[in-house]
Structure 1
């Protein structure tokens, strides 16, 4: 076996497929193929994933993910049409969905997420930030990006040596404390849970603790593994729910791939608005003098 191979663990009955990472003294680092899971296992406990089983699993995973994405795209288009009727914009309208700031502790999952934000037309900025550094990063990024929605995700787990411990104890979790700290920083920036929506957590995260820190949505009520795209699904649904409406919790959670065991949340208003008339936006430059220095500001080009 070589780094990058797809493997399963014999001791777990081959239940999850992993990408094989570095091997140190016979212990291999593993990353879930589609689940936000980091694990390690002795090399002798691993075997290459069966090609047929792999193809079947990937096809099933792709079908489930594409179904969720189609639902989100249909939801976006329906809200746009409703917005046009509300504004009487038969001649056209423009959309202003919520803007996402996405911090991810996994660069591979971040790339997938950013590609899907683009496909779903959700304005988003994404940054690869380790879980332990998210609170510090937010202090700089929040005032610079001024998002409507913040997604904080990556990897988490119940630690091996926590068997028999109280699962309410944060010491039993790899990164839940870091997610809590980051949520508190974000909530300190904006205390209104409707003007700044926070989605936080990863696999097996301490749901209650993260939610009580100020998140609108968090993982994982059932301490289960969550799909890599579940936080994005919630963020996209919030981004395209009209600002006058509340996100339907059952709808948004049932749209995730891990369901109610994987994600939970509280009543939250959407961020989506429509406007009119439609005009052709052109790049605009303006210059101002500040302390004797010329500062050039360029407005965003919109279509």
Structure 2
């Protein structure tokens, strides 16, 4: 398989090509792989790789895009119901519309994968969530997060990228058994030095198979992955968007977050958290009219 090159989409024959990977580096016979849609990183010998045809890739992509769209539509439906309830509450039931405005929670999204960051930013935009995205290698995140928080002053922080758990390197409680969990944990700790309180800065941290317990212990509100499974590239977006678009006087239950995700409770978890959206009156447009 010497025709495998950086940027190619491949599968692993030993795993029946269950996950599509993007080739990011080739070092002799060893190839570094990043999940095309899952936040997993892996190494594999060239001999184990199977080039994925464009036809097969499109077929898989169609199924996945449909799943993503279904998730988006469910999120929008839930958002619509929430807005209708909030409008009734804030206007005391008056029939006049557009009498208030909303300020969603601002997201600072740190991502170890530039392509994933682009995908995530597009979904944030569709959902109406303000976001400042930064592409950083996972090992650089603990060094940069302090200055970024001070510059952006976000309500919500996302710390994600790629990760993987290797049973051969230790049990699931040992940090040495994970590819990037230690970097995510260190980044959460650094962020909590700046903003200690969980409702003043909501944090999502982790990627595929990450050390869930250590991330929560470090101070994350939400994290992956309780059952050490793979999570979808867009899962962090839906988790924190639920927080961003929920009024700060309301609590976001863990189940509220999980039902808005693509992976569910095996891949994501956390603690109940206050929303980050603030409402005000009158609407700016009303004043102009």
| TM-score, with structure 1 as normaliser | 0.87
Unmatched runs of 5 consecutive residues or more in structure 1: 282-303
Tell me what 2:32 maps to: 29
Question: How far 1:50 sits from its partner (Å)?
Answer: 4.7
Tell me what 1:199 maps to: 204
What count of residue pairs does the alignment treat as equivalent? Answer: 280
CA contact (8 A) 2:244 2:275 kept: yes
Equivalent-residue separation in structure 1 for 2:24 and 2:193 (angstroms): 37
Equivalent residues in 2 for 1:104-115, closer than 5 Å: 104-115=111-122
1:147 to 150, 154, 171: 154
Structure 1 residue matching 2:26: 3-state secondary structure: strand
Tell me what 2:276 maps to: 271
Question: How far 1:280 sits from its partner (Å)?
Answer: 4.5
Equivalent-residue separation in structure 2 for 1:91 and 1:236 (angstroms): 24
Equivalent residues in 2 for 1:23-62, closer than 5 Å: 23-62=26-65
Equivalent-residue separation in structure 1 for 2:89 and 2:16 (angstroms): 54
Unmatched runs of 5 consecutive residues or more in structure 2: none
CA deviation profile, 1:24-81 (whole Å, cap 9, x unmatched): 2122222211001121211111112255543332111111111111222223333322
Tell me what 1:127 maps to: 134
CA RMSD of aligned residues (A): 1.9
Query: Is the alpha carbon distance of 1:160 and 1:24 closer, same or farther for their aligned partners in structure 2, counting shifts above 3 Å?
Result: farther
Moved more, 212-221 or 186-195: 186-195
1:244 to 241, 246, 249: 249
CA contact (8 A) 1:72 1:236 kept: no
Question: How far 1:277 sits from its partner (Å)?
Answer: 1.0
CA contact (8 A) 2:162 2:207 kept: yes
Question: How far 1:238 sits from its partner (Å)?
Answer: 0.6
